[in-house]
Amino acid sequence: MWTIKYTLLNVAYFAAFCTVHAYAAVYLLEKGFTNTEVGILLAVANILSAVLQPVVAGIIDRKGKLTNRGFIFISVGVILAGSVILMIAPDEKILIFIIYALIYLIQFTYQPVMTALCFEYQKARCGIFYGLARGLGSASFAVTSMFVGGLVERGGVSVLLWINIGTMVLSVIVLLFFGKPRAVEAGAGEDVRAQQSGPKNGIKSFVREYPAFMLFLVGTICFFFAHNMINDFMIQIIRSLGGNETELGIANFLQAILELPVMALIGVVLKKISANRLLVFSGVAFLVKILILVFAGGMAQMYLSQSFQLFAYAVFIPAGAYYVSNNMKEADQVKGQAFITSAITIGGVFSNFISGMILDHSNITTMLIVGSAVCAVGVVLTFFAMRKRSKADIVL
């Protein structure tokens, strides 16, 4: 039952993530934004999100009134309200900029809290199969992508907002039934009290205690510079290859549906291969994925590139989550999850700024070559990070 409820949260989250993130350029270009303006908006949202994520994580780690579940409630409410405003408000670019940036940053901010929520409930002896739930979230992204491209072509970009509203309403309903039973809370009380009484790292001491992790975060920024470059400006890449919104939906469906088997089986894979090695492996896959696009001549190569999501993002996300859960003190784990998401977000910041400007002043190939070079640096950094040992590291 807990896995079902957590799966529904992931299904709703990633359906909305598809409309907000994968179709951001589609929505904003339709509203009159230039490529540079799209890049600036997404970069601003990513910067604010990167700052907010560790702040929120630090507050939740202190075990005060703000809980993982409570912050998700707040985030869902903000996205729901913002989507409604965009539906009924006039098409003023300044208003769209503010509201869309708010939706974008809040959705990114509560992503690590979703992951932390799972591990919090697992430690409280609520059985949640993380890999399956997260994989079905990706399947939700895939299904949404498959249909939303055609729906946008026929019904316009307002379709994206209707999906946001529907998924956020579903999230509210699920969250209302997601409170831990009293019996479970009582059983976990001793563990929670032990966690609360343990030492908690500030940002500076956290950096000193986990130096290998910090180097890995720089590699993560490089990976997601390339990853976000493809995702945020995919419509321009596809149009350069002769496709349109329908092909965008197919491409997004392909990469997302392939995440399901890997994420569902990640627990089995981790018994054979350490998270450290999987993270390096995923970095190489990110690099291959973007290199294919550098030399692409049609949609067949685009789909081949998207297929490498099976080894890139699909491996990175659960491996990163388990790396934090197993290698960090419990009092640092929400921060650890948040720092990974912050690194992903920062990669998006640089990607948004640089990609938008390159597209307005050069071409797709130049953009992809830059992304490939940055991703290659990330592979090298992550390789060395995974060979280092943090003070609190535990061998997986």
Which domains does the chain carry? 2-387 (1.20.1250.20)
Judge contact between 286 and 223, C-beta under 8 A: yes
**φ and ψ of 80, to 5 deg:** -60, -50
What's the pLDDT at 321? 84
What's the pLDDT at 200? 55
CA dihedral 381, 364, 312, 310 (to 10 degrees): -170
Judge contact between 315 and 131, C-beta under 8 A: no
**φ and ψ of 126, to 5 deg:** -100, 115
Per run of 10 residues, the mean pLDDT along the chain (length 396 residues) is 90 92 87 86 85 81 79 94 91 91 90 84 81 84 82 87 94 87 49 45 74 91 93 88 85 81 82 88 96 93 92 90 79 80 84 85 92 96 78 40
Tokens 């981790």, located at residue: 270
Rounded CA-CA distance 307/325 in Å is 28
Rounded CA-CA distance 17/344 in Å is 15
What's the pLDDT at 316? 93
Tokens 């030399």, located at residue: 295
